[in-house]
Structure 1
Amino acid sequence: MRSPKEKITALIITYNEIGYIEKCVQSIDFADEIIVVDSFSTDGTYEYLNNHPKIKVIQNPFENFTAQKAFTLKQATNDWVLFLDADEVVTKKLQKEIVETINSESEHVAYWFYRKFMFQNKPLHFSGWQTDKNYRLFRKSKTQFSDKKIVHETLDVEGSSGILKEQLIHYCYKNYEDYKSKMLNYGRLKAKEAFYKEKKFNYFLLFLKPTWKFFNHYILRLGILDGKKGVIICYLNALGDYERYKELKQLEKKNELAYFLIMP
């Protein structure tokens, strides 16, 4: 039997998110419990969280996104969890929809959120982000993070899913160097993921995949309509793909060298 008011735990993982985490935390003050798992930030993020009266902060070494989120999910006391990135903000309308949803008679066990991508403080309308959605609200007892991915983690869901109407605000683009660093890091993690799956490097994909990514996001997905912002985002997203295949080549070289060194 459903309780009169379902409780909810908000979960976040962080590493050097000062300047963003404050907005995120403020937007989830309606949650019954807020837990943040920090990967030993050095910019004051941990100190800010540790001094916040409503937040339980835990420091845990970062292995990959899936492992960190799986660890964080285990910390939740309540079954309903709202799992956010530190650069995401829940609007007042979305807050209301979340509360109404978890207290409704719906049998869905997980919900997709559409996200509005913010280029600094201005919305990015196209550039491949217009259909971006992620699982953000779900029951802990009916879900788990798949171990098949270490970046852009996948949620395995036992049951049906729904989609909320209100959008989540995503302040992903802080500045050029920050976003570039993020895309390069994602590319390296995807290379490790491909390497573990024994996918092989080839020069054709090294040049084809980034070129296609830029063309797809800038032309087919209308990044051209975002002006200069669209050029920057589409280029950096394509750069992430280039880094993935370049790093895969390096991993294969290291593996071959290690094999050569242990040969009798």
Structure 2
Amino acid sequence: MNNQKEKISALIISYNEIGYIEKCVESVTFADEIIVVDSYSTDGTYEYLKNHPKVRVIQHPFSNFTLQKAYALKQAQNDWVLFLDADEVVSEDLKNEIIATVNSDTDIAAYWFYRRFMFQNSPLHFSGWQTDKNYRLFRKSKAQFSDKKIVHETLDVDGKSGILKEKLTHYCYKNYEDYKGKMLRYGRLKAKESFYREKQFNYISYVVKPLWKFFNHYVIRLGFLDGRKGIIISYLNALSDLERFRELKKLEKKNELAYYLLMP
């Protein structure tokens, strides 16, 4: 039991995260409540969460990341929210910094976290992720998820932002098939986002943007210094962009077909 004055709600969304979510949950047991919104996992994740004495698990269908996280945010009982992905872990030093931060006399509404990326169990030092940061700690009363993005969701903050010193550990790469599947799903969601914004498919972007993504991550962002890991990460991130344009083209064709079918 901790002596903190301010209460914290730890929020997580999950789907088939067994083997990773256990470390995530155990790293936030200092929070006053832990709420996990699970999108009907089939690998034992839900059963593990249901039997955990400190976790309140809610099953909710997944539409996109923004809507799922917005739903989870509504469940929080406390103003201070620590929002994690199921494959992220809070270190002891970061835990202490979080507790000290929320109990300080601060007018900051939200805090960015830098992340330490893990390729399986070894660190990924470069490959484009060395400057990655995300909002993870914020006041519920001062922030909401933007409805402009459905993947790599962003937070709209009413107030000042700060950055915590300690890094959040992110186990981004479990194995090749898992990361590939994740990148393909992100690409399809980004295609929907582009389609809703009325961005049109074109062959120049289809060819150039994936090549640029690989070159940017592997060469400019020093992925080659990560060795074989850097090649894999850079390739799969480029594949996500390729999938985005493939899916956007499919969505446009479906839309055209629906239009002609509805014509009198």
TM over 0.5, shorter chain: yes
> Deviations along 1:200-226, whole A, 9 cap, x unmatched?
000000010000000011000000000
Q: Counterparts of 1:53 and 1:154 in 2: how far apart (Å)? A: 31
> Deviations along 1:80-123, whole A, 9 cap, x unmatched?
00000000000000000000000011210100000001000000
Partner of 1:72: 72
> Deviations along 1:18-49, whole A, 9 cap, x unmatched?
00000000100100000000000000000000
Partner of 2:87: 87
Corresponding residue SS for 1:183: helix
Partner of 2:225: 225
Partner of 1:257: 257
Partner of 2:179: 179
**Long gaps (5+) in structure 1:** none
Q: Counterparts of 2:85 and 2:8 in 1: how far apart (Å)? A: 16
> Deviations along 1:140-174, whole A, 9 cap, x unmatched?
00000000000000100000000000000000100
Q: Counterparts of 1:80 and 1:161 in 2: how far apart (Å)? A: 14
Q: Counterparts of 2:256 and 2:30 in 1: how far apart (Å)? A: 53
TM-score (norm 1): 0.98
Alignment: residue pair count? 262
Corresponding residue SS for 2:171: strand
Q: Counterparts of 1:198 and 1:181 in 2: how far apart (Å)? A: 26
Q: Which amino acid aligns with 1:197?
A: R
Q: Counterparts of 1:218 and 1:175 in 2: how far apart (Å)? A: 19
Moved over 4 A (4+): none
Corresponding residue SS for 1:109: strand
Partner of 1:60: 60
Q: Counterparts of 1:167 and 1:12 in 2: how far apart (Å)? A: 18
Please state if 1:205 is matched with 2:205: yes
> Deviations along 1:66-91, whole A, 9 cap, x unmatched?
00000000000000000000000000
Q: Which amino acid aligns with 2:239?
A: L
Q: CA RMSD in A?
A: 0.9
Q: Which amino acid aligns with 2:237?
A: N
> Deviations along 1:214-246, whole A, 9 cap, x unmatched?
001100000000000000000000000000011
Matches for 1:81-120 after TM superposition, within 5 Å: 81-120=81-120
Q: Counterparts of 1:74 and 1:262 in 2: how far apart (Å)? A: 39
Q: Counterparts of 2:45 and 2:221 in 1: how far apart (Å)? A: 35
Partner of 1:10: 10
Corresponding residue SS for 2:180: helix
Please state if 1:196 is matched with 2:228: no
Q: Which amino acid aligns with 2:64?
A: N
Matches for 1:116-195 after TM superposition, within 5 Å: 116-195=116-195
Q: Which amino acid aligns with 2:156?
A: D
Offset of residue 255 of structure 1: 0.4
TM-score (norm 2): 0.98
Q: Counterparts of 2:106 and 2:210 in 1: how far apart (Å)? A: 42
Corresponding residue SS for 1:233: helix
Q: Counterparts of 1:252 and 1:215 in 2: how far apart (Å)? A: 28
